[in-house]
A = this chain, B = another copy of it.
Amino acid sequence: MERSAKPLLRALSGEAVWPPPLWLMRQAGRYLPEYRRVRAQAGDFIALCTTPDLAAEVTLQPIRRYGFDGAILFSDILMVPWALGQGLAYREGEGPMLPPLRSAEDVAALQPTRLPGAIAPILETVRRVRAGLAQDFPDCTLIGFAGAPFTVACYMVEGSGSRDFAATRTLALTQPEVFDRLMALLVDATVTYLSAQIDAGADAVMLFDTWAGILSPMQFRRFVIAPARAIIAALRARHPSVPVIGFPRLAGLLVGEYASTTGVAGIGLDTSMDLALAGAAVPSGIALQGNLDPLSLVAGGAALRQEAAGVLAGLRGRPAIFNLGHGIVPQTPPEHVGALVEQVRAT
């Protein structure tokens, strides 16, 4: 395998690159005026995700502005249910709405054969971003992504966001055969989807399990670790040199078990994680990615410098990628992001 010049891929191959390569979750988003202009032009959010020239444009905007080491495909974790034919709508200020799945019939009505055609515009976005990076930012790593099966299932079953996804977890406990069928279908769809993103030009892929932390340890092993392991094994068989970053948000004490048993090359750490303790729990060849508090980016000034210095100290000396512990929030002043980039680069 050729040694990559891209710093983020070097970190994911186990090299302690310093200063750490840097990107931020939701770096393409509403805090940027140039994003808001394209968003207004697109009409609705799903149109933005499925119009390749617009989605590629917003993917590249933060790279032009800040020179991040990673460009993450602009898309949404619910494009998989959308591609499987479950209705999806975004109402302004309310988040996603889907007709909830609650029975074996609801799961059987999903259309996996629809997926390859439906995701075609997203793959075209990947190709355009790839071409744009090759021309202007050859050292920038293109990151594809998908929601992990449990988190995607949470929205599919609940039909919307929720604080505790009680309907989803109750379905998993009371109708395990229905929930297992949905999870198996999502594992397959995720492999197809991520593999196609890699074929279209993604250098690495990330699996977002936003709601992993609401499960008991038994459920975490079954619904978070096992699907991640299955997906990564299937991807590795097809694309042995493409690294996967796993992000089991709020995994807490189970972060080490997730990191050492799923096959990830990098592990996303949420804001709550102490980096010294996480570093001790995660095998040393796996890159730590995280975990600045997104609200310190809103605050700026001394609070931002102090929190960022804490993260940098925690990442030093091992393969690592500087990131947030959760997505950028819309009220973030863009100049605070600039100050953070300077601080990380000057370290």
Q: Which residues of A contact B (CB under 8 A)?
A: 163, 166, 169-170, 173-174, 176, 213-220, 250-255, 257, 271-275, 277-278, 281, 291-293, 295-296, 298-299, 301, 303, 306-307, 310, 325, 329
Nearest chain B CB to A275's CB is how many angstroms away?
8
CB within 8 Å for A293 and B166 given contacts A255-B253, A273-B217: no
What is the count of identical protomers in the complex? 2
A-B contact pairs, 29 of them (CB 8 A): A166-B295, A166-B298, A169-B293, A170-B298, A173-B298, A173-B299, A174-B299, A174-B301, A176-B303, A213-B250, A213-B272, A216-B292, A216-B296, A216-B307, A217-B272, A217-B274, A217-B275, A220-B272, A250-B250, A250-B252, A250-B272, A252-B252, A252-B273, A253-B253, A253-B255, A253-B274, A254-B272, A254-B277, A257-B274
CB within 8 Å for A166 and B329 given contacts A253-B273, A253-B274: yes
CB within 8 Å for A272 and B216 given contacts A253-B252, A253-B277, A278-B253: yes
Q: Hey, which chain B residues are within 8 Å of A295, CB to CB?
A: 166, 169-170, 173
Q: Hey, which chain B residues are within 8 Å of A293, CB to CB?
A: 169, 216, 219
Q: Hey, which chain B residues are within 8 Å of A250, CB to CB?
A: 213, 250, 252, 272
Residue of B nearest to A277 (CB): B253
Q: Could you tell me if B281 and A253 are in contact, using CB atoms closer than 8 angstroms? A: yes
Residue of B nearest to A269 (CB): B253
Bound-state CA distance A303–B176 (Å) is 9
Bound-state CA distance A166–B176 (Å) is 36
Assuming A174-B303, A216-B291, A252-B273, what are 6 further A-B pairs, CB within 8 angstroms?
A173-B303, A174-B299, A174-B301, A216-B296, A216-B325, A217-B275
Q: Hey, which chain B residues are within 8 Å of A275, CB to CB?
A: 217
Bound-state CA distance A301–B257 (Å) is 29
Q: Could you tell me if A173 and B216 are in contact, using CB atoms closer than 8 angstroms? A: no
Nearest chain B CB to A244's CB is how many angstroms away?
23
CB within 8 Å for A272 and B252 given contacts A169-B293, A307-B216: yes
